[in-house]
């Protein structure tokens, strides 16, 4: 969010000086907001919402909207209506609800333990080095977890993180699978990491 905040401040400064804000600049801001929602907000909403609804027996659709004028609005929609899922991971065969997150302690005692497990996963891949991980042949969605391009499918591309310039890691799997992959990388590359489960209430 820091990058977005600085962008908003820059725009506010231009406006206060009476200088125009171009449509290209506004488009860049819109793209940054989209990426922030995709990478930070939606996974966090999913994590917080799941424990509240996991006992429900029926399907439902939630529609979330936001505007400066009206603020945040969440509405329950008829489940028979077709809509794009906010939680694409639930559509993956074999998806299991997250009961824990992952904590990784590096040899220098640094700890990575994000609420969004994909960020912890990416931290380890960065530490190990994408070029070291790729030859291990670990796959997700039928492809090596390390790629030099984003997937064509937007849903799967949303689960990729750029860990080095031009290199992406796929994080599109459940927490259990991420744990298995991290343990494999740790073992195969002799990283001497301490990888633990942190159980959720």
- pLDDT value of position 28: 80
* Contacts for 161 with CB less than 8 Å, ≥ 6 apart: 39, 118, 119, 122, 168, 169, 171
How far is it, in rounded angstroms, from Cα 114 to Cα 68? 30
> What's the pLDDT score for residue 79?
57
Q: What is the pLDDT of residue 95?
A: 39
Structure tokens at 10: 């820059």
Q: Is 9 helix (H, G, I), strand (E, B) or coil?
A: helix
Residue 189 confidence (pLDDT)? 96
Where the chain has pLDDT below 70, the residues are 1-2, 51, 68-70, 78-98, 201
pLDDT of residue 98: 52
pLDDT of residue 82: 46
């Amino acid at each position: 969010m820091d990058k977005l905040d600085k962008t908003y401040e820059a725009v506010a400064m231009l406006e206060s000086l009476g200088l125009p804000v171009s449509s290209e600049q506004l488009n860049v801001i819109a793209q940054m907001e989209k990426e922030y929602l995709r990478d930070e907000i939606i996974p966090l909403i999913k994590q917080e919402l799941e424990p509240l609804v996991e006992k429900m027996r029926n399907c439902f659709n939630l529609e979330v909207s936001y505007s400066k004028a009206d603020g945040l609005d969440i509405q329950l929609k008829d489940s028979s209506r077709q809509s794009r899922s906010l939680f694409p991971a639930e559509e993956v065969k074999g998806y299991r609800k997250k009961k824990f997150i992952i904590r990784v302690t590096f040899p220098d005692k640094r700890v990575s333990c994000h609420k969004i497990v994909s960020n912890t996963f990416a931290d380890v891949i960065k530490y190990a080095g994408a070029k070291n991980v790729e030859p291990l042949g670990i796959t997700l969605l039928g492809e090596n977890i390390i790629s030099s391009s984003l997937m064509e499918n937007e849903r799967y591309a949303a689960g990729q993180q750029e860990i080095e310039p031009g290199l992406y890691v796929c994080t599109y799997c459940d927490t259990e699978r991420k744990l298995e992959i991290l343990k494999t990388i740790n073992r195969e590359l002799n990283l001497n990491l301490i990888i633990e489960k942190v159980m959720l209430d």
